[in-house]
Amino acid sequence: MAVASPIRAVLTAHFESTVNRMRKQLGRTGFIGLLFFLGVFAFVGVVPLLLLATVGSYFLAREAFVQHTGHGLDVMFGVGFTVLPLFGGLIGGVSGGSQQLAWEQYRAYPVTPRTLFLAELVAGFGDVTAAVISLMLLGAGAAVALAAPAHALASVVLAIEAVVLMLSVQLLVGSLANRLAQRLRFALAVLLVSPGVFILLVRPWLEKEERTGFKSSRHAWELASTLAAWLPSSMTFQPGARAWLGAAAQALAVGAVVVTAAVMLWREHASSPDDSGGPVAPPWTFTRPVLGIARLQLVTLLGSHLGKGAFILPVIAVVLLRGFVAELTGRTDWMVPGAFLYTSFAATGLAFNQFGLDGHGVKALFLLPITEQQILKGKQLGYAGWQAMQVALLVVLLGVMHQPSLEHVAIGLLLFVCLFFLQGAVGQFFSTWLPRRLSPTSMKNGQVPITVALASLGTSLGGMAVFGGALFGLRHSPIPPVVGMAALALGCFLASRPALRFNARFLAENRDRVIEAVG
Amino acid sequence: MTALELSHVTKRFGEKLAVDDLSLTLEPGSFLGLVGRNGAGKSTTLKMVTGLIAPSSGSISVLGKNVAEEPLAVKRQLGVMPEDMALLEMLTGPQYLHFVGRMYGVDDHDITRRRVELFEALDLEPGPKTLIGEYSFGMKKKLALCSALLHGPKLLFLDEPFEGIDAVTNRTIKDILQGLQKKGVTLVLTSHILEVVEKLCPLIAIIDEGKLKGFGPLDSLRRQGESLEALFVGLVGGASKAELSWL
């Protein structure tokens, strides 16, 4: 059987699923609107990027390889053909730009793992980042070939290799993200320890650098430039034997990444879930319906890859906001609340799809002799427990690494509580209106309807602006910020009660939507 | 050449023994009803035969080819309708059948022709834009059967094909299966509806706790006038009669 047929089957299925999903979620008018939006986005965003990559590469290549006037431009091309695909693969892999179809399906069909890998690799073009960067790389390769015919073969081959490298890295990163979530405790331990160790190691060096006027940093930049010139992709643009050596090394490196991605992916998917044979968890019990739903929601969240993955956010928040951004802005008083805001902001996805992880169990949930209000309240409690664990982790990390004042921590916590109630209330509505099933064994929160994406972004940013603005105002008023924020949090809690009743009524009227989409 | 041969097949999941030293042989054109209680090992056996999971020990041959050594050649000859159906729910029925057909290397023209015939035979009339996720349970069952038949398999495995199917379609499916058997296709069917198995399958295999408790033509296994249900309960042991005190 020809290899082309399964590849075509997988690619067509990817494309058709995406179009069907959009059409179903947005309706005909919404779908046309989205196409229009994407067209405008392509025109104002993608086209300039492609022009920059092609036209820019053409003129730079003429300068570098024909007029020989641009010092270091050859190295810049080499770095571009290595860094851009790595960056694109990383972004695409994290955002789930690969493996959109259930791999288990494929095992029943008479196709080899190699063919399936090839199909999934090519299907990686479905991710916007991968598609745009691929076009940029191929455009740049073609432009260099046109501008400098002596380097035509090298640039075209390099561009193709770069695209293959990016698609492989995308698969590899997606696979790694899943594995990381499977080994949560190990990953958490590493993540908890590593920022502290990193800072301990780097801090004395940074202090010394400050005293010596960053002399070593300049050396480091020179070293990086030398290393960049020795990158296989950079060597390919250099004369003589170095070009051949670079080309061979680049081919070997790309080949190694492709093989690694293929092996990892196949090992991940070849094992049947039936083979695990692990111990069966004891059944859970509860005393009141709301607590029962809360416990079920908490267990579901903690048992899912997405729920586990969210525990990385406090670590990122501490490293990003408390370290890097604080150094940049010099405003440490906003950094602790900022870390709380970031943690809250980054976990919004699950708040806007509270039934997503229930799967078929959602039917059983609605068959229980309890009200919609009890279901939503229970889910909110479970969600609160899950977020409380993240906050606890954040507080510990902040305490160990930065010893913030109690007041800053309290303000951060209260900001978090305000946002929790806001996101919960809006999230409950969208969880009923536009629900979608989520896989408990995948890190992907993909196929988010654009309406939900915009609403969650708007809610989070709006909440940040309102509550952050209130905090700013309190800092310039006679009321102590902690007291003011506590009053605001209480107000949010009180406001969430009528919102809960409204959302419960909405859920009662739209149970079918949830069952149809998730169950 | 035998259609299916299982030789001392065992499957363990950790400590649990799911299938225990199972051996049986089927000639081409056989129609086997595989019956057993929930968790008896039927689905695990089907998964091993179809190459979805590997046996812990023993060997399986399909139409003279070893499943472990030539998995692709074996899969090309098989049609499988799993109990959970495993359909791609974001595709429409025709899109899904095109996906399946292409995976088996059937050309587009043939896929369309066969799909029209299958839909007509099974009275499946989904809207052109209706997604599989929006199908009723019965429609999904029919579509899963279509996908198992699309490439013209020599050996067909059907896991609970009659569950959730209306009476008319039930009859159509039976006719299709019997027609396939006459054409030399080997069929293996699992079902908890013993009356259906009794009427449809000349060969019976009863499996319990992973072991084969009985295998052969139904008439050679049962006593005169005995039903399959009586034979089955007799072999696997019936549940004790429980009194429900609150009812």
How many other CB atoms are there within 10 angstroms of residue B123's CB atom?
12
User: pLDDT digit of tens for each residue in chain A (519 aa)?
Assistant: 455 677 788 778 878 887 887 777 667 777 777 778 777 877 777 888 888 888 988 988 888 887 777 677 778 888 888 888 888 888 777 665 545 455 556 667 887 777 778 887 887 877 777 888 898 999 999 998 998 888 888 888 889 999 999 988 888 877 776 666 555 555 556 655 665 666 666 667 777 777 777 777 777 777 777 777 778 888 877 777 777 788 888 888 888 888 888 877 776 655 544 444 444 444 444 557 788 888 888 888 888 888 888 888 787 777 766 555 555 555 666 677 878 887 887 678 888 989 988 887 787 778 777 788 888 999 999 999 999 998 888 888 887 777 778 888 888 899 999 999 999 999 999 999 888 888 877 776 656 777 888 888 889 888 888 988 898 888 888 888 889 999 999 999 999 999 999 999 999 888 888 887 887
Facing A105 at nearest CB: one of B47, B76, B86? B86
Rounded to an integer, what distance in angstroms lies between the CA atom of residue A201 and that of residue A323? 14
Which candidate from A6, A274, A275 shows the least CB-CB separation from B103? A6
8 Å CB contact of B15 and A8: no
Which residues touch B1 (CB under 8 Å, ≥6 apart)? B28, B63, B64
Q: Is A278 in the B-facing interface, judged by CB distances under 8 Å? A: yes
CA atoms within 13 A on the CB side of B207: 27
Output the CA torsion sign for A48, A53, A55, A60. Answer: positive
SS (H, E, C) A305-372: HHHHHHHHHHHHHHHHHHHHHHHHHCCHHHHHHHHHHHHHHHCHHHHCCCCHHHCCHHHHHHHCCCCH
Q: Measured between CB atoms, does A20 come within 8 Å of chain B?
A: yes
Do the chains contact at B88 and A13, CB–CB below 8 Å?
yes
For residue B49, list chain A residues with Cβ-Cβ distance below 8 A: none
A 10 A CB-CB count for B206 gives 23
Reduced DSSP (H G I as helix, E B as strand, rest coil) percent helix, strand, coil of chain B, to 5: 35, 25, 35
| Burial label, B136 (beta-carbon count in 10 A; 0-12, 13-18, 19+) | exposed
Q: Dihedrals φ, ψ of A184, to 5°? A: -60, -50
Residue B188 near residue B111, CB atoms below 8 Å: no
From the number of C-beta atoms within 10 Å of its C-beta (0-12, 13-18, 19+), residue A10 rates as buried
DSSP class of residue B40 equals S
Indicate the residue of A6, A102, A112 with minimum beta-carbon distance to B102: A6
Distance between A122 CA and the closest CA of chain B, angstroms: 16
Q: Looking at residue A495, what is its pLDDT? A: 92
CA-nearest residue to A1 within chain B is B105
| Chain A: closest CA distance from residue B106 (Å) | 8
Length of chain B as a residue count? 247
Residue in this structure with the two tokens 């696997």, named with its chain if needed = B236
Gap from B32 CA to chain A (nearest CA, Å):
21
Q: For B99-128, what is the mean pLDDT?
A: 89
Say if A107 is an interface residue toward chain B (CB within 8 Å): yes
Burial of A513 by CB count in 10 Å (0-12 exposed, 13-18 middle, 19+ buried)? middle
In chain A, the residue whose alpha carbon lies closest to the alpha carbon of B44 is A274
Question: What's residue A377's pLDDT?
Answer: 92
Assess contact for A120 and A171: CB atoms under 8 A: yes
| Residue of chain A whose alpha carbon sits nearest to that of B76 | A110
Rounded Cα distance, A394 and A396, in Å = 5
Average pLDDT over residues B195-221: 89
Which A-chain residues 309-338 have CB contacts (< 8 A) with chain B? none
**What is the rounded distance in angstroms from the CA atom of residue A466 to the CA atom of residue A419?**
10
Is the full-model pTM beyond 0.80? no
pLDDT of res. A274: 47
Q: Is A273 on the interface with B (CB under 8 A)?
A: no
Record: contact B131-A8, CB cut-off 8 A: no
Cβ contact, residue pair A9, B75, below 8 Å:
no
Contact flag B44-A274 (C-beta cutoff 8 Å) = yes
Residue B4, pLDDT > 90, answer yes
ipTM higher than the 0.85 cut: no
Q: Which residues of B touch A23 (CB under 8 A)?
A: 129
Distance from CA of A10 to the nearest CA of B (A): 7
Give how far B88 is from chain A: nearest CA, Å: 8
Judge contact between A445 and A94, C-beta under 8 A.
no
Optimal mutation site among B103, B104, B150, B157, interface A, most CBs of chain A within 10 A: B103
CA distance A34 to chain B (A): 19
Residues A155, A156, A159, A165: what is their CA dihedral angle, to the nearest 10 degrees?
A: -110
Cβ–Cβ under 8 Å, residues B159 and B81: yes
Which residue type does A203 have? Answer: R
Out of B13, B51, B101, name the one closest to residue A275 (CB).
Answer: B13
Q: Quote the tokens at residue B149.
A: 């038949």
- Measure A365 CA to nearest chain B CA, in Å: 20
DSSP H stretches of helix in chain B: 42-49, 71-77, 93-103, 108-121, 137-149, 167-182, 194-200, 218-221, 228-236
Q: Which residue of B has its CA nearest to A116?
A: B103
Confidence band, pLDDT 50/70/90 cuts, at residue B154: very high
Nearest by CB: B104 against A13, A107, A110: A110
Nearest beta carbon to residue A101 from set B72, B88, B131: B88
Alpha-carbon gap: A272 to the closest alpha carbon of chain B (Å): 7
Spatial distance between the Cα atoms of A130 and A132, rounded to a whole number of angstroms: 6
Q: How far is B51 from chain A (nearest CA, A)?
A: 7
Can you say how many angstroms the Cα of residue A7 is from the centroid of all Cα atoms in its chain?
A: 27
The per-residue pLDDT for A279 is 43
DSSP state for residue B207 in the 8-state scheme: E
**DSSP designation for B245:** T
The answer to whether B15 contacts A277, with C-beta atoms less than 8 Å apart, is yes
- Token digits of residue A258: 């492709």
Q: Which of A5, A110, A277 lies nearest to residue B72, judging by beta carbons?
A: A110
pLDDT digits (tens, 9 = 90+) for B211-242: 998 899 988 888 777 888 888 888 877 665 66
pLDDT of residue A328: 54
> C-alpha A270: how far from its chain's center?
25
Which chain A positions have a beta carbon within 8 Å of B133's beta carbon? Answer: 516-517
Nearest to A415 by CA among A321, A293, A323: A321
Contact A102, A14 (CB under 8 A): no
B52: contact with A, CB 8 A cutoff: yes
A83-108 exposure pattern, b = at least 16 Cβ within 10 A, e = fewer: ebbeebbbbbbbbbbbbbbeeebbbb
CA end-to-end distance (rounded Å), chain A: 37
- The confidence score (pLDDT) of residue B31 equals 94
Chain B residue numbers touching A277 (CB-CB < 8 A): 12-16
d(CA A157, CA A428): 51
**Secondary-structure percent of chain A, ordered helix, strand, coil, rounded to 5:** 80, 0, 20
Q: Which of A5, A23, A272 sits opposite B52 (nearest CB)?
A: A272
Mean pLDDT in residue range B13-36? 91
| Inter-residue contact A237 to A65 (CB < 8 Å) | yes
Neighbours of B83 (CB within 10 A): 16
CB count in 10 Å sphere of residue B236: 18
CB-based contact, B130 to chain A, within 8 Å? no
Q: Which of B47, B102, B110, B131 to mutate to test the interface with A (most CBs of A within 10 A)?
A: B102
Touching A: B residues 168-197, CB under 8 Å:
none
* SS3 category, A471: helix
Q: Looking at the DSSP assignment, which residues form a beta bridge with residue B156?
A: B79, B187
* Cβ-based burial of A508 (10 A; exposed 0-12, middle 13-18, buried ≥19): middle
Instruction: Inspect the interface and report whether the beta carbons of B134 and A516 lie closer than 8 Å.
Output: yes
Sort A284 into a burial class: Cβ within 10 Å, 0-12 / 13-18 / 19+.
exposed
pLDDT for the residue A280: 44
In sequence order, what DSSP letters do the residues of A76-111 get, joined into one string? HHHHHHHHHHHHHHHHHHHTT-S--S-HHHHTTSS-
Q: Looking at the partner chain, which of A5, A17, A102 has a beta carbon nearest the beta carbon of B105?
A: A5
Q: Is A207 on the interface with B (CB under 8 A)?
A: no
Sign of CA dihedral A313, A317, A320, A325: positive
Q: Do B16 and A21 touch (CB under 8 A)?
A: no
CA distances from B94 to A6, A176, B115, B118 (A): 16, 35, 7, 11
**Model confidence pLDDT, tens digit, residues B128-152:** 888 888 888 888 989 999 999 999 9
Q: Is the pLDDT of residue B45 over 70?
A: yes
Cα gap A80→A76, rounded to integer Å: 6
User: Which of B97, B99, B111 to mutate to test binding with chain A, by most A CBs within 10 Å of its CB?
Assistant: B99
What is the amino acid identity at position B23?
A: S
pLDDT digit string, tens, across residues B74-90? 888 999 888 777 787 77
Interface check B42 vs A, CB under 8 A: no
When CB atoms are compared, the residue of B44, B103, B129 closest to A9 is: B103
Question: Are residues B86 and A104, on separate chains, in Cβ contact within 8 Å?
Answer: yes
From A8, A23, A112, residue closest to B102, measured CB to CB: A8
Q: Among candidates A329, A428, A417, which has minimal Cα distance to A377?
A: A428
A–B: how many Cβ contacts below 8 A? Answer: 94
